[in-house]
Structure 1
């Protein structure tokens, strides 16, 4: 799972997006969406790394038999 930094980036992005929407600042709204996408990409990369590690361990264990 993600760490606190990724969750903070996501929440900060949501706050920026909302502030941009309320104020009519499209740049701030886009920046918020970009921050959220970056946090989601980091989370996905971490999950993929964990899954690859699990698969490698299973393969290694299978050859030990």
Structure 2
């Protein structure tokens, strides 16, 4: 499992999201504190990320590297 997949899994757990949510953006903390801002969205019926059905949050990721 690569870092993106681990971040997606951790983000779903921390933000209490189901499998229908997909990670589409990550901003890793450069200060060394091990936080990442993650952005999730659901896909519409055509497989395109929906801008109206999205969420974001911060998760710890230092142990996922």
Same fold flag (TM > 0.5): no
Normalising by structure 1, what TM-score?
A: 0.28
Compare the two structures and name the one with the higher strand fraction: 2
Q: Report which of the two structures shows the higher radius of gyration computed on alpha carbons.
A: 1
> Normalization by structure 2: what TM-score?
0.28
- Which structure has greater helix proportion? 1
